[in-house]
Structure 1
């Protein structure tokens, strides 16, 4: 089953994308699969919460998984962090995220 997710890229353009919930993908991989950020500027660490290249701002009121210690530590060192910042690699695409709206954080 696919869900709809709205992703605003770093140029401020909003993309409405379909995201599969049955492929164990995360938001960072979704952004990469739709090429919404230039190659080499997102998911640099491969989704290990070791860089903040996939930082995004959550614009909708969805209940997301709790922040892990690793993600929290990485966001503490990242640039452009807001109260609604999350690492896209740490958010799995699930049916509950239907209608999620995120914006990619600026490159640090």
Structure 2
């Protein structure tokens, strides 16, 4: 029997992208990938990219230099990768887990179709999805940090 600490670590799920698991990124041939449109908070198109099934929105944004923070690096410990999805795509996704909902509660500009980009994995059904970046983010560690006396 394993100690409770080791057992807890073994049961914890870890979200990794294909790049982290295999060490390289293989992008789809043009016209064959899942199209993902990124828009700014005013609705202006930032960039349209193609990604693979299983990629997450945060990783794709970082790969294409789109300004989506992701301060916790996808560990669901912040809300800085908050995106607003188009309603049709939002409805195709599974319901957010409790930890994602907890972080979304702290997101700036929360909407009915808000999700954490690190938790949105692309599927063929999501081809053509639009992810809109909010006008600001809340980084609770940086924004809420109180100075300490020396």
Bin of the TM-score, shorter chain as denominator length: 0.7 to 0.9
In structure 2, runs of 5+ residues without a counterpart are 1-31, 138-150
Give the length in aligned residue pairs: 103
In terms of fraction of residues, the more helix-rich structure is: 2
In terms of fraction of residues, the more strand-rich structure is: 1
Tell whether the 8 Å contact from 1:9 to 1:36 is kept in structure 2 after alignment.
Answer: no
Q: How many angstroms apart in 1 are the aligned matches of 2:40 and 2:71?
A: 17
- Per-residue deviation, residues 35-77 of structure 1 (Å, max 9, x unmatched): 011xxx5111010111111101012402112111001001112
Q: Aligned with 2:115: secondary structure?
A: strand
68-77 or 1-10: bigger deviation: 1-10
- Per-residue deviation, residues 13-42 of structure 1 (Å, max 9, x unmatched): 312111122xx42001111111011xxx51
Structure-2 residue corresponding to 1:2: 33
Within the alignment, does 1:51 sit opposite 2:78 as a pair?
yes
> What TM-score, normalized to structure 1?
0.85
Within the alignment, does 1:85 sit opposite 2:85 as a pair?
no
Q: How many angstroms apart in 2 are the aligned matches of 1:78 and 1:3?
A: 27
Higher gyration radius (CA): 2
Higher relative contact order (CA 8 A, sep 6+): 1
Within the alignment, does 1:70 sit opposite 2:99 as a pair?
yes
> What TM-score, normalized to structure 2?
0.63
